[in-house]
Structure 1
């Protein structure tokens, strides 16, 4: 599949579509071709457009196509230390799971034996503004921003086993 360098996300706006595989919708916010938010409402907002390349890719992913969304550009506003954690999480491969300590080890400037650094990692995962694109569902031992039932379904789709 050919994709633009920005992951095919040239639009700005709010886009949403219901996916039977999740039993709910996926809502994507974009600005200047970058993803700024992903959420999982029960149903798509009435004013959201259902036609977007990222929603197409998510649909393919939910149907079993392997996609790590690594080429999707994000524009998120989070503290620098939390951004570093989320950048590390983007490196967890499709179909794999790692624990919170490993994420902290993968994050420059954080110590996996320091409680404050582990809390920083937990906070980053809970505050993740773009779940799926930043796959917090692949991290065990710490809740992410992906709602529990959705995270469980994503792990099932990927065949992820907790580390």
Structure 2
């Protein structure tokens, strides 16, 4: 049985281009670079027993997360304090929780994350969970790099990852 869940979509223009946020009644559920692909997102949510109903947020409704994303991308914010509705497997949630401990302006490797969650041989699985992160920037998967220090994969593209890391390096408050 699938649980009918309301999801609300808002697109916004940011310093790194068009983004979209998706919230549920529980909190922020998804952030995308560009527009939301509702077909793909519906399929993902249905794998977790949810049947999404889609709604657009009206222009006059303010979303705290939109404000916080804008502040972050303008170098005015380092942390997010919005409620989140994290939808994923227990392993993914464990990885995403570890990602949230990576400080602003810092980086960790996939191997570091695997060790943090007590699964040192699960480096590839950590990479897969990182790739499925539904809340890029808010859950800072851009702070994960290769063991050799190389920039590797990012859903928003490597130039975006490099830009986010450069922003954090420049704006880090010690």
Q: Shorter chain as normaliser: what TM range? A: 0.7 to 0.9
Aligned partner of 1:5 in structure 2 is none
TM-score, normalising length: structure 2? 0.71
Name which of 20, 31, 36 aligns with 1:38.
31
Cα deviation, residue 49, structure 1: 4.7
Which protein is bigger by CA-based radius of gyration? 2
SS of residue matched to 1:36: strand
Determine the C-alpha separation between the residues in 2 that align with 1:67 and 1:33: 23
Gaps of 5+ in 2: 1-5, 37-55, 147-151
Q: Distance in 1 between matches of 2:66 and 2:95?
A: 25
Aligned pairs, how many?
Answer: 139
1:13 aligns with 2:18: no
Q: Does 1:92 align with 2:102?
A: yes
Task: State the SS of the aligned residue for 1:78.
Answer: coil
Deviation per CA, 1:54-96: give whole Å up to 9, x if none: 1111111111113222x33322222211210111001101111
Q: CA deviation at 1:42?
A: 6.6
- Any conservation in 2 of the 1:104–1:121 contact (CA below 8 Å)? yes
For the Cα contact (< 8 Å) 2:99–2:113, is it kept in 1? yes
Deviation string for 1:7-43 (max 9, x for gaps)? xxxx961112111x21x11211000141110001079
Structure 1: tracts of 5 or more residues without a match: 1-10
Query: Which residues in structure 2 correspond to 1:68-147 (within 5 Å)?
Result: 68-69=79-80, 71-108=81-118, 110-111=119-120, 114=121, 117-141=122-146, 142-147=152-157
Residues 146 and 103 (structure 1), Cα distance of their counterparts in 2 relative to 1, 3 Å cut: farther
- Structure 2 Cα separation of the partners of residues 35 and 98 of structure 1: 25
Whole-Å separation in 1 of the counterparts to 2:96 and 2:115: 13
RMSD value over aligned CA atoms? 2.3
Contact kept, 8 Å, 2:29 with 2:134, in 1: the verdict is: yes
Alignment-derived partner of residue 43 in structure 2: none
